[in-house]
């Protein structure tokens, strides 16, 4: 006799988890967590005292607030009491994709709402729009958002049978073009996203690469995981090594660099003063290097006659006169912080005896940006461009920085750099207004830094 079919799980599990996170199920004082002072999502949109900040879309759960609430999961008894109140999420569809399509899964932990995922999609893809909005779908169905003409994301679905970690509470199904390089990646290539392991026969390219890069960034932001290329897995086909279905769980602490997008230009001295309040080691870098002329040609060039030389010099002199007649226009500047320098050390001593590089440098690059990320372009003051204050970390070991699993020395240096980067970016935002974005163009509330 065959095995008896397994009983259908009781309903309401994810709903009960969400109730506990949003506060419907009480949290006991013995949990040791103060839930009375959690800011609302609207309170996270801070405004600069000098420059009014327009309302910006915020995520339902920010990184630290979400982690705080996820620590107050309900007890088993409370879960059973809530299981009869609402049905479970629908199961993943066992459909066969077309030959030119790829299918990937984005898994997110408890406490992440469908609008959190949608906001991340709209922050990256300018033309993202709902095909079936969450408020219009019936019970047992799912929302669908078009990321582009050829790519969609659907969900949420139950994680049962998805092959994702047990920390995943909801799954989103992403269908995009299957676009791969014909050449296999070099075995020694160690990329920071993990694509070399996930696609050993050919890395994704074009829209396939853009969608997968966004999925990794979204999983990193939300604390989730991504399972690659699982179309044949879900369709019940025989899976070969060409469709490994590898699971990638990106490190949420990987991103260090931040960018402040603002309508306000801070003069170099003003920005330097702002950064100095956070770090005494900040140095203003506006002076350029002396130009000694082009390098000597490797081959001997034919000699020019006197008439040709006179014509060339006349055009060069006219160009110089026009340039000198215009006022000097500063289009950008930089501020550097050596993280290995001892605060308070005289500049002359630092130049004479540079410190041993361990933690790297924080660099603030200030310039105009005519094509900011999609989330910034939606701001009314950024329609025709804005000012970008890019707070970057320059580590000493670029190989480790671009490795999927960097070593402990790099991780320790990254923690030091993250603290400095956050304090500098928040100080610049306080002075210039605007919004703060991470390395992947996702908005961050200043209180989250």
Check residue 231 and give its pLDDT: 66
Mean pLDDT score, 273-286: 91
Cβ-proximal residues to 138 (8 Å cutoff; 6+ apart), any chain: none
60-102 tens-digit pLDDT: 344 444 444 333 444 444 444 433 333 478 887 776 567 678 8
Residue 424 has pLDDT above 90, yes or no: yes
Check residue 275 and give its pLDDT: 96
How far apart (Å, rounded) are the C-alpha atoms in residues 234 and 94? 5
Q: Which of the pair, 429 or 71, is modelled with greater confidence?
A: 429
Check residue 119 and give its pLDDT: 92
Q: With bands split at pLDDT 50, 70 and 90, how would you rate the model's confidence at 162?
A: confident
| Residue among 366, 260, 274, 262 at smallest CA distance from 54 | 262
The residue ranges of DSSP E strands in 94-216, in sequence order, are 101-108, 129-132, 143-146, 152-157, 170-177
Instruction: Report residue 354 CA to chain centroid gap.
Output: 33
Burial class from Cβ neighbours inside 10 Å (0-12, 13-18, 19+) for residue 367 reads middle
- Do the Cβ atoms of 142 and 175 come closer than 8 Å? no
- Do the Cβ atoms of 253 and 427 come closer than 8 Å? no
| Distances from the Cα of 377 to the Cα of 16, 40, 147, 224, 296, angstroms | 38, 25, 17, 27, 45
Check residue 267 and give its pLDDT: 92
| Residue among 110, 86, 209, 105 at smallest CA distance from 163 | 105
Residue 315 has pLDDT above 60, yes or no: yes
Q: Please report the sign of the dihedral spanned by the C-alpha atoms of residue 440, residue 443, residue 446, residue 449.
A: negative
Element (H, E) at 392: strand 386-394
Select, from the ranges 132-136, 192-196, 278-282, the one with the highest average predicted confidence (pLDDT): 278-282
Q: With bands split at pLDDT 50, 70 and 90, how would you rate the model's confidence at 236?
A: low
Check residue 291 and give its pLDDT: 73
408-432 and 268-276 helices cross at what angle (nearest 10)? 120
Check residue 18 and give its pLDDT: 41
């Amino acid at each position: 006799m065959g095995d008896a079919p397994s009983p259908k799980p009781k309903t309401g599990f994810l709903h009960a988890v969400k109730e506990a996170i949003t506060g419907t199920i009480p949290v006991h004082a013995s949990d040791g967590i103060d839930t009375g002072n959690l800011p609302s999502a609207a309170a996270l949109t801070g405004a600069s005292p000098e420059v009014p900040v327009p309302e910006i879309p915020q995520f339902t759960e920010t990184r630290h607030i979400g982690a705080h609430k996820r620590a107050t999961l309900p007890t088993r008894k409370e879960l059973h009491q809530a299981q009869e109140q609402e049905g479970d999420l629908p199961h993943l569809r066992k459909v066969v994709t077309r030959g030119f399509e790829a299918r990937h899964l984005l898994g997110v932990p408890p406490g992440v709402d469908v609008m959190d995922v949608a906001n991340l999609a709209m922050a990256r893809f300018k033309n993202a729009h709902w095909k079936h909005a969450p408020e219009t779908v019936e019970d047992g169905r799912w929302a669908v958002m078009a990321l582009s003409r050829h790519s969609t994301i659907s969900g949420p679905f139950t994680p049962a049978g998805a092959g994702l970690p047990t920390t995943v509470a909801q799954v989103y199904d992403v269908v995009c073009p299957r676009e791969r390089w014909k050449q296999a990646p070099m075995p020694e290539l160690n990329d920071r996203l993990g694509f070399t392991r996930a696609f050993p026969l050919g890395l994704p390219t074009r829209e396939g690469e853009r969608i997968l890069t966004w999925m990794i960034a979204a999983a990193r932001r939300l604390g989730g995981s991504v399972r690659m290329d699982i179309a044949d897995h879900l369709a019940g086909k025989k899976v070969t090594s060409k469709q490994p279905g590898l699971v990638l769980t990106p490190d949420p602490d990987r991103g260090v660099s931040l960018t402040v997008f603002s309508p306000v230009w801070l003069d170099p001295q003003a920005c330097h003063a702002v950064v100095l309040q956070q770090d005494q080691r900040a140095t203003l870098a506006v002076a350029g290097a002396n130009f000694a002329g082009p390098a000597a040609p490797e081959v001997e060039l034919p000699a020019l006659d006197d008439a040709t030389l006179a014509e060339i010099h006349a055009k060069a002199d006219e160009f110089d006169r026009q340039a000198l007649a215009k006022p000097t226009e500063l289009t950008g500047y930089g501020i550097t912080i050596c993280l290995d320098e001892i605060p308070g050390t005289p500049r002359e001593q630092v130049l004479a005896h540079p410190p041993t590089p361990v933690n790297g440098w924080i660099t603030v690059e200030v310039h105009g940006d005519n094509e900011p990320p999609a989330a910034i372009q939606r701001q009314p003051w950024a329609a025709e461009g804005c000012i970008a204050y890019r707070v970057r970390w320059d580590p000493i070991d670029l190989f480790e920085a671009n490795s999927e699993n960097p070593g402990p020395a790099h991780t320790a240096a990254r923690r030091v750099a993250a603290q400095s980067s956050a304090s500098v970016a928040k100080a610049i935002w306080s002075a210039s207004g605007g919004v703060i974005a991470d390395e992947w163009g996702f908005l961050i509330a200043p209180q989250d830094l």
